[in-house]
Structure 1
């Protein structure tokens, strides 16, 4: 159709107006990772989670120039705009720490509510955005004043974070569901979201394509109905089409069948070259990575280019701004390895920190995270697939003995025996799991092993004892709900908890709020919950779990059917067998829940030591 000059004069402004309101595809910004590279390509920052430090690497010399103490378990790190200043999210200390990479000095810190994980900077460096794993928020921090300037809820257990190149949109991932949410960075309102499948799990990172409206997230599938090494855990890269549209806009690419029959495990981080043509994904369980070609066809998306063997437990990958080099962080080798993007040849190996563990604990941690022999023969699963960094995976598994809600490992050293059914009295008994249908590994003991709860397996294998030593290192952090002490409601709840009226402390006693402890006598209780687990084979009596950290570990009970603490006290407390709570008023239940959410409000270890409780070291 041809338009006369007069019609163009009136139509063009209208077209421009309409275009200004049309949704604009969001392209690449920056994404959170344990690694960050300055925009001039001169410096690399690395969060050393185990050491509690951030290392600064001079990329011209390929050597460490600074290592800065920041606190317990730093996670994401980002440079601030085009500067050499940076910020890191310190997970266990609930702070964001600001650093000067040139001087190696701290510039200050900002306290946040709890568990900061992912962090990204605006292009000007005037703001950083931080995900809070618990309770599922994004916090905006003004980098000049180092103060929180905005905060909004974006789901539950949010970890991964990326920011668009126009600084207008934030993309976050829910850790236990792999849901991707696009949020307006100014208003905090949800723009769009992409749900994962019912089995999608452990989505801790997201990367935006630099030229296409695509987002990439590594995660796993936890197929909870199959307790078998060949069908329970699967490695996935999901690709989200971020253009506003109807219909399916999310594609899963299984990484265990992406290159023939080569199985990989626990995808952790991804990166894309600046030209958008090459995609990298690292696998923390099988200690390798895939290098892929990006296909601009909205169908295949990725094709295989190469597989590289890496070091122990690779958790980070980043590409230099010129695209010529990519860097891998081998978390349990405590080094970064530089590779040539074209030839894939190794260029340099850079030590970033010293091993902060004993040699025994380091060996145990490597075993815990690997999906290779002797731990697993099928390569799909490691201990960390269900207990990443000692946390639960948020799932309830259909085990042969019945439904089993995955438990945290925090405080386990003080609360043996292990499992809901107390069927293991030492970590070494998990040699049965390593050799069994779930992991199908060769095992860590040569020859016959003892039955669980019988003669000890401790001492039969140095490697097995090392894995036990690592597994027993996990500790609690204090509840964010009691940073200012117990609230009046929590104080009232405490009185109820310890009262003869509710009898909560009959079983949930002592510094760890559990009557389980490493003694020869195993204590189990029938609290009426087995009736909600029709496939139960080992109940109806269960071990008493600790209540510390319960504010963040939903779902609850052995069968995982209670989604809230309110449901624990009401729906699933049959005939008051699990504490006498039916007579409580709505306000009293709310007070009791406030107290439970405040646990732990003090460090339990000094009390445990004073009481003469036994800690299992391995």
Structure 2
């Protein structure tokens, strides 16, 4: 059944606390073998036949362009139906479709014309070959395993290496393009997404949804190093700290929503990272909602500009400037792009284009500006759910895919000075789709509401459910709330059978917890049908594929299971396997923080606990190991365990 996958649009998808805002830590991916299922060859059967890549196009995307004779065609990855649409960009005519073996996230056209697609739900890439006639389906050559949840692709400048970033697998994996055999793998922190390669082919830059970071991977040394892309708000104000005189305080903002990257060779090797800079408030202080509650909103849109040589962001691009247009309650001339999902550069106009979920627009920025966010040129209204775009440099067109409305948009860009003109007329092309049911229609409504930024019924400061629960998961942040510090929980795969909801366990149902959340966010609330649709979507969110069983690790996991359920350790006394890894009760485990109102906290489910650091209601433990050691005597007993037993216990918990 594809229902929950189909509606994830980005988990797309999206993401108990439908709260608000992004923080760290990851898992290494599983070993991948090649060439793939049935040991079929990934090499071309008919070299030279069919479409070829557009010159210089090596970064993967939901939309990828190719040349078929004199035509420019677009390959569009449709995650709802699990197929690729082939479209003539000049006419807007859909030429054909290709059914895939799973849910696609991104695709890229190799130098020899093969199309490589990341199958997000299958932990694999599928390699396909084009026919001479672009209207005919692509021919599948092979399927190659990857670490869990491959999400983004890129090839190196020499066209010899394919790089695949895996979100839940937390890795960057390299494959030889000719054979598609895995050559090496580099572990990364939590939730990596978009990837681009430096001009010299020596480094890869990887965006992260959480953690306030970008990873720079040395492709020769096969090591990753972090780059902090968080920001500073100078002269910011927090509620209760506004003086009559002076310029306010300096507030550190965390970066999240790092889904997309774009690279420019024309502007001294700039890497562009559309993101959101977040002020979650101080853990030691209570607030009136989620965050500090200051004059500026908790989340502001930003575009970090990183120099590929120095590997550091330009300071101007990550500094938040006080601006009356961003203040809570003020009239904003244009809604902010708080859910950026795709980005591309137009070299002719030196423009950066970014798709924005929630406000259903593509924003064009001056890519030469020190701070592109404050150099917006124009924006294109598009259909709901824009998740992919590509620039047709030769035809001077922008091609945008809106997943929620299943619509492809083609907009003329004009000449080099066109960026100063009004937004052009956009041609909308509805692509074919499989039959829909009434139940799926409700889930699609829920998906739109989940990603609805700027909806006053949900929040009064622009935040959407997906702001704090990107891809239905968590932002790795701890928020100041009226009850004390609260770490955002993961939603996908965790809502079913885990009531009550919220860290204090007051929400008997998802609906009740949502009502409290909307109130704290200053939202007016949804109508009954809309609320039902949102709850249906949230509870249908597809979790990451379960960890593969590694025979070499199975004995360790089984030993960890014995340790977990032993009377001496006591983990299983509250985390019941038959109860979705919770006992559905609140306990005082001596974890009360200074700002907490209460001392008892709901037992959280341990589903997917290995990928949701930090831990505890206030995020005090950065890693699973530090949690296991730190709670001895208050929540289970681990002091008596040897290193081997701790290794086994951690391995077992990561397998849940």
TM-score tier (shorter): 0.7 to 0.9
Unmatched 5+ residue regions in structure 1? Answer: 1-27, 446-460, 517-521, 600-618
Alignment of 1:260-271 (within 5 A): 261-264=333-336, 265-271=338-344
Distance 2:399 2:629 in 1: 52
Moved more, 258-267 or 493-502: 258-267
Alignment of 1:307-456 (within 5 A): 307-322=379-394, 324-342=396-414, 344-351=424-431, 353-354=433-434, 358-373=440-455, 375-376=457-458, 378=460, 380-409=462-491, 410-433=493-516, 435-438=518-521, 440-445=522-527
The TM-score normalised by the length of structure 1 is: 0.80
Q: Which residue of 2 aligns with 1:34?
A: 62
Distance 1:292 1:475 in 2: 34
Are the counterparts in 1 of residues 306 and 312 from structure 2 also a CA contact under 8 Å? Answer: no
State yes or no: 1:489 paired with 2:525: no
Shift of residue 473, structure 1, vs aligned partner: 0.4
Choose 1 or 2 for highest CA Rg: 1
Shift of residue 129, structure 1, vs aligned partner: 0.6
Shift of residue 442, structure 1, vs aligned partner: 3.1
Q: Which residue of 1 aligns with 2:300?
A: 234
User: Can you list the C-alpha shifts for 1:559-603, whole angstroms capped at 9, x where unaligned?
Assistant: 111111222222233xx231122222222111111111111xxxx
User: Can you list the C-alpha shifts for 1:70-118, whole angstroms capped at 9, x where unaligned?
Assistant: 355422211112x432112222321111123443222211111222111
Alignment of 1:7-22 (within 5 A): none
Unmatched 5+ residue regions in structure 2? Answer: 1-55, 132-136, 232-252, 282-286, 415-422
CA pair 283-298 structure 1, distance change in 2 beyond 3 A: closer
Q: Which residue of 1 aligns with 2:16?
A: none
Distance 2:442 2:57 in 1: 41
Distance 1:431 1:479 in 2: 28
Distance 1:245 1:169 in 2: 10
The TM-score normalised by the length of structure 2 is: 0.76
Shift of residue 481, structure 1, vs aligned partner: 5.7
Shift of residue 63, structure 1, vs aligned partner: 2.9
Q: Which residue of 1 aligns with 2:595?
A: 535
Shift of residue 182, structure 1, vs aligned partner: 3.5
3-state SS of paired residue (2:303): strand
User: Can you list the C-alpha shifts for 1:533-572, whole angstroms capped at 9, x where unaligned?
Assistant: 22112x3222222212111111111111111122222223
RMSD: 3.0
State yes or no: 1:201 paired with 2:281: no
CA pair 462-585 structure 1, distance change in 2 beyond 3 A: same
Q: Which residue of 2 aligns with 1:183?
A: 217
Alignment of 1:50-89 (within 5 A): 50-81=80-111, 83-89=112-118
Q: Which residue of 2 aligns with 1:504?
A: 571
Are the counterparts in 2 of residues 512 and 548 from structure 1 also a CA contact under 8 Å? Answer: no
Shift of residue 392, structure 1, vs aligned partner: 0.9
Are the counterparts in 2 of residues 131 and 137 from structure 1 also a CA contact under 8 Å? Answer: yes
Number of aligned residue pairs: 544
Q: Which residue of 2 aligns with 1:473?
A: 540
Distance 2:550 2:607 in 1: 15
Are the counterparts in 2 of residues 177 and 202 from structure 1 also a CA contact under 8 Å? Answer: no
Are the counterparts in 2 of residues 235 and 254 from structure 1 also a CA contact under 8 Å? Answer: no
Are the counterparts in 2 of residues 273 and 323 from structure 1 also a CA contact under 8 Å? Answer: no
Alignment of 1:587-602 (within 5 A): 587-599=644-656
User: Can you list the C-alpha shifts for 1:293-349, whole angstroms capped at 9, x where unaligned?
Assistant: 344x65778633222322212222211131511012212112211111136211342
CA pair 481-400 structure 1, distance change in 2 beyond 3 A: farther
Are the counterparts in 2 of residues 29 and 164 from structure 1 also a CA contact under 8 Å? Answer: no
Shift of residue 431, structure 1, vs aligned partner: 4.7
Distance 2:401 2:628 in 1: 45
Select the structure with the greater relative contact order (CA < 8 A; seq sep ≥ 6): 2
CA pair 492-64 structure 1, distance change in 2 beyond 3 A: same
Distance 1:128 1:246 in 2: 25
Are the counterparts in 2 of residues 420 and 558 from structure 1 also a CA contact under 8 Å? Answer: yes
Among candidates 640, 643, 649, match of residue 583 of structure 1: 640
3-state SS of paired residue (1:358): helix
3-state SS of paired residue (2:534): helix
